[in-house]
Structure 1
Amino acid sequence: MKTTVTIERLISQPVSVKGSFPLSVAKLKEFVNVAWSIPFYSTAESHKVMPILAAEMNDLNPDRNWWKKKFPGANPFFHHCSFLQYYVAHKNGEPVGRIAAFIDRSYSERTVQGEIGWIGLFESFDDDEVAAALLDAATQDLQQTGTVKIIGPARFNANGEAGLLVDGFDKHPMVMEPYQPPYYTHFLEQWGVKENDWYAFRMTHESASAYMERLGDMRSRGQDLEQRLARQGVAVRSVKISDWANEIARVKTIYNVAWDTSVHPQFELFSEEEFDYLASGLKMIAIEDLVFVVEDMTKPDHPVIGMAVTLPDLNEVIEEYDRLHTAYVPSTHIYGLSDIRRDLGIFRLLRDRVKHRQFTQCRVFVLGTTRKKNGIDAMLYEKTYLATIKMGVQLASGSQIADTNPDIYIPLSHMGKADITWRVYRHT
């Protein structure tokens, strides 16, 4: 008997001028749970790390109803969306895939006149019929709203997780690095063509040593980089986690300026609310020895002109917890006892690991400056390198680095290898 795929649209009012989209918590949980149903993620070949459920519910909740701001919480990204729809595919009555389609009012491209649509959060069984039904539904809805270009997948732009994994399936993804099954590539190649790639440079102390030795040689010849910058009034320091709110307030002044350039595709300006939302999440895993700010000491208010944020690998903690406990399957309830037990267990383990700085992996999440070609980037690389050695980190990932950004990927290529690639597609 032939089976058919049905597509359920979860959001009853997908068009909004205020950026709030009605979605019951039960339907949100249904959408989130689909990821756990993908058979590939349960195989030995998979290196997928399933998220903390409460955080996932928070990040994907677009409903600004007052009580939903408490649970599960609402992501301010959706406040500047004019269209949003979540889709779940069913086959034989069972969920077999999902996708999101959205239009972000804050996103634009210099060469495109008109609205740009996005797809993201794509998951599917290894089934051409399922994947095609999901991609077709999302694409058709976006086209009907008048979009002139559709790209993806992403969560939700280059400020989050961009692209589909196309190379590096044997690598363990670090915190906020996308991971999907190899067969998704076939689905997206049927849907569109390459827009651009993003890379992860995996670095060890050994692979980065030659680059760092060159900086050491400069120092021995009286050309110490940090001292030269200090004579120019440039100073670098670690942040104070105890003063996190004020530290972040100073950093946010340069983030949009430093990253709003042509070498950062799919980037959009962070709103104040979004930056605060991201910063509050990062505070849980941030270690002050791995977060640096660069300041211009020649000016009275010592403005921040650069920063480097390296995060201990949260996925390392989640993997350890899941390895030590019975295989977790999300509850069919909105937030059941099994969900609470796993989330709290991971949070307790994370708190202990952060307190004692017990991580073997980390991700260089943000590194940049508003002043180019003056050595600030190199100084931040060295500071981060020395801090990771002291902490006992064995592997670092510099990601996600766009293929349009040689100022970053060239020095990183001297410290490690680009052995993970994600691709953003453009619908044709």
Structure 2
Amino acid sequence: MKRIVAVNGKKELGTFIDFPHELYKQDPNYVPELFIAQRDLLSPGKHPFFKHSTLQTFLAYDGDKVVGRIAAIQNNNHNTINGANDGFFGFFDCYNDQETADLLLNTAAKWLKDKKLDSMIGPVNFSTNEICALLIQGFDGPPVAMMPYNKPYYLQLLETAGFHKKVDLRAYRFTAGNYNDRSSKLVTALEERLTRSNIIIRKIEVKNFNKEAEAIREVYNKAWDKNTGFVPMTPDEFDYTAKDLKMILDPDFCLLAEQEGKIVGFALAVPDINQVLIKIKRGRLFPTGLFKLLTQKSKIQGIRILLLGVVDGYRKMGIEACLYGRIIQSFQKKKMTYAEASWTLDHNEMINKPIEQIGGELYRKYRILEKAI
């Protein structure tokens, strides 16, 4: 007999975090999330999301065996900023069983309806600022840093439960020597042109990290404000994320465009830390995981181009090309073997076309789905 249990204590939360390890134990592409990071993410008082919003996590049991999990999410900032009345679901994992999936999704839907919300969108783990979407194309390898991964059957489970496409996301891949490095070769000329407008491209100053992060947050919130369902990050949320990113930050891949002291654009690529995390059993740093993390970081051979944005009024000046070119130069210098640019909106031709023109291969697609409740 299948049943749902609301997660309310530390032990249940641990079970919730650990369930994917069992579900994916035979999958060579599965990358376990770090336990302590997931625990903090889902704990009120730890993550700043809970200062303005709320969620409830649930486990599905078949007898004594855990067979699925889900989180129902009320993101008040999303609804206030977008003039919406949406609910979300995230952290969805399930065996290939429609009855279990329906039980989880219906339980989350009821929780959201009780909050007077009208729709259910997901998978979204809080907002599009965190890990979101369902992998629907490109199951042939592990995900890169901070990108989702799931079983191929998830899409059918959700569609059978009445969900339909809201928006698709893209991931592009570059491999060493298999891309157009024209922007890299033109960087000097492009930067000279930008200097006539008093715009310079520089690396982040790690010693002034907090000050730099504050300026980057302002650009981030302005540059992405027209993206579907975008929610500006609060100062606390951005600081929380920046603190995590700082641990794997390579200044050569964190670049700022600055005009007379004002940041008008930035690009961030991060080492693909999943090359290390995939080897850390059940996401535990102790007793051996921390050693692997510290000793193998320098062996990472790939990057994820995570963010590249320029504020309105400074676009189409060549700043984007300079940022991409500088990242390509560092990629070449470090003799890395692959890069992923992700994610981009499926319909964002202003971003997708330039990526394709420099040799980016569209190799993975993701989907956010929705349903009225």
- Asked if the contact 1:158–1:265 (Cα under 8 Å) also holds between the matched residues in 2, the reply is no
Letter in 2 for 1:160: E
Aligned to 2:132: 162
Matched residue of 1:48: which SS? Answer: coil
Letter in 2 for 1:87: F
- Asked if the contact 2:267–2:308 (Cα under 8 Å) also holds between the matched residues in 1, the reply is yes
Aligned to 1:234: 199
Letter in 2 for 1:76: P
- Asked if the contact 1:116–1:150 (Cα under 8 Å) also holds between the matched residues in 2, the reply is yes
Matched residue of 2:322: which SS? Answer: helix
Per-residue deviation at 1:183? 0.9
Per-residue deviation at 1:187? 0.8
For each residue in 1:203-232, what CA deviation from the matched residue of structure 2 results, as whole angstroms up to 9, or x when unmatched?
123332x2x22663x67xxx9111101111
Matches for 1:192-211 after TM superposition, within 5 Å: 192-208=163-179, 210=180
- Asked if the contact 1:161–1:177 (Cα under 8 Å) also holds between the matched residues in 2, the reply is yes
Aligned to 2:329: 386
Letter in 2 for 1:412: I
Matches for 1:310-349 after TM superposition, within 5 Å: 310-319=269-278, 321-322=279-280, 328-329=281-282, 339-342=284-287, 345-349=288-292
Matched residue of 1:242: which SS? Answer: helix
- CA 1:244/1:24 → structure 2, altered by over 3 Å: closer, same or farther? same
Per-residue deviation at 1:240? 2.4
Matches for 1:340-379 after TM superposition, within 5 Å: 340-342=285-287, 345-354=288-297, 357-370=298-311, 371-379=314-322
Rounded Cα–Cα distance in structure 2 between residues aligned with 1:329 and 1:117? 30
TM-score (norm 2): 0.93
- CA 1:109/1:149 → structure 2, altered by over 3 Å: closer, same or farther? farther
Which aligned runs of 4 or more in structure 1 are off by greater than 3 angstroms?
Answer: 345-354
Letter in 2 for 1:7: I
Per-residue deviation at 1:404? 3.1
Aligned to 2:240: 277
Structure 1 window deviating more from structure 2 (373-382 vs 248-257): it is: 248-257
Aligned to 1:213: 182
Aligned to 2:154: 184
Aligned to 1:408: 351
**If you compute each CA radius of gyration, which structure gives the higher value, 1 or 2?**
1
Letter in 2 for 1:80: H
Aligned to 2:35: 53
Aligned to 1:13: none
The structure 2 residue matched to 1:85, chosen from 35, 56, 61, is: 56
- Asked if the contact 2:164–2:371 (Cα under 8 Å) also holds between the matched residues in 1, the reply is yes
For each residue in 1:9-58, what CA deviation from the matched residue of structure 2 results, as whole angstroms up to 9, or x when unmatched?
12xxxxxxxxxxxx4322221211111121xx1225x4110011111111
Matched residue of 1:397: which SS? Answer: strand
The structure 2 residue matched to 1:42, chosen from 12, 20, 25, is: 25
Rounded Cα–Cα distance in structure 2 between residues aligned with 1:329 and 1:162? 21
Letter in 1 for 2:2: V
Rounded Cα–Cα distance in structure 1 between residues aligned with 2:103 and 2:195? 59
The answer to whether structure 1 residue 424 and structure 2 residue 360 are counterparts is: no
**Number of equivalences:** 368
- Asked if the contact 2:184–2:324 (Cα under 8 Å) also holds between the matched residues in 1, the reply is no
Per-residue deviation at 1:234? 0.6
- Asked if the contact 1:293–1:307 (Cα under 8 Å) also holds between the matched residues in 2, the reply is yes
The percentage of counterpart residues that share the same residue type is 28
Aligned to 1:290: 253
Matched residue of 1:108: which SS? Answer: helix
- CA 1:359/1:265 → structure 2, altered by over 3 Å: closer, same or farther? same
Per-residue deviation at 1:382? 0.4
Per-residue deviation at 1:282? 0.3
Rounded Cα–Cα distance in structure 1 between residues aligned with 2:140 and 2:296? 25
Question: What 5-or-longer segments of structure 2 have no aligned partner?
Answer: none
Rounded Cα–Cα distance in structure 1 between residues aligned with 2:210 and 2:42? 24
Matched residue of 2:88: which SS? Answer: strand
The answer to whether structure 1 residue 143 and structure 2 residue 113 are counterparts is: yes
Which structure is richer in relative contact order (CA contacts within 8 A, separation 6 or more)?
2
- CA 1:196/1:174 → structure 2, altered by over 3 Å: closer, same or farther? same
- Asked if the contact 1:317–1:346 (Cα under 8 Å) also holds between the matched residues in 2, the reply is no
Rounded Cα–Cα distance in structure 2 between residues aligned with 1:397 and 1:340? 26
RMSD: 2.0
- Asked if the contact 1:241–1:287 (Cα under 8 Å) also holds between the matched residues in 2, the reply is no
Rounded Cα–Cα distance in structure 1 between residues aligned with 2:199 and 2:306? 22
Question: What 5-or-longer segments of structure 1 have no aligned partner?
Answer: 11-22, 65-73, 323-327, 331-338
TM-score (norm 1): 0.82
Matched residue of 2:177: which SS? Answer: helix
- Asked if the contact 1:103–1:115 (Cα under 8 Å) also holds between the matched residues in 2, the reply is no
- CA 1:303/1:214 → structure 2, altered by over 3 Å: closer, same or farther? closer
- Asked if the contact 1:37–1:96 (Cα under 8 Å) also holds between the matched residues in 2, the reply is no
Aligned to 2:2: 5
Structure 1 window deviating more from structure 2 (142-151 vs 195-204): it is: 142-151
Aligned to 1:252: 217
Matched residue of 1:159: which SS? Answer: coil
- Asked if the contact 2:199–2:259 (Cα under 8 Å) also holds between the matched residues in 1, the reply is yes
